[in-house]
């Protein structure tokens, strides 16, 4: 299925719109994973520092 603009010019196709949506979802997932990884690494570093202090 194709979307047509004024004068019958092709604007885009529905599969292309789905691909854009998938790429946006992937980008959001990568950003969320990065934030989670940064937070997890901070927790690990704090735990290591606490263990060093305790011994």
Q: Using one digit for the tens of pLDDT, what is the confidence trace for 18-50? A: 778 888 999 999 999 999 999 999 999 999 999
Q: pTM, whole model, 2 decimals?
A: 0.59
Do residues 3 and 11 lie in contact, with contact meaning Cβ atoms separated by under 8 Å? yes
pLDDT for position 1: 46
């Amino acid at each position: 299925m194709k979307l047509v603009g004024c004068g019958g010019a092709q604007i885009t196709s529905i599969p292309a719109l789905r691909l854009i949506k998938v790429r946006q979802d992937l980008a959001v997932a990568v950003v969320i994973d990065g934030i989670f990884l940064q937070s997890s690494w901070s927790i690990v570093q704090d735990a290591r520092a606490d263990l060093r202090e305790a011994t």
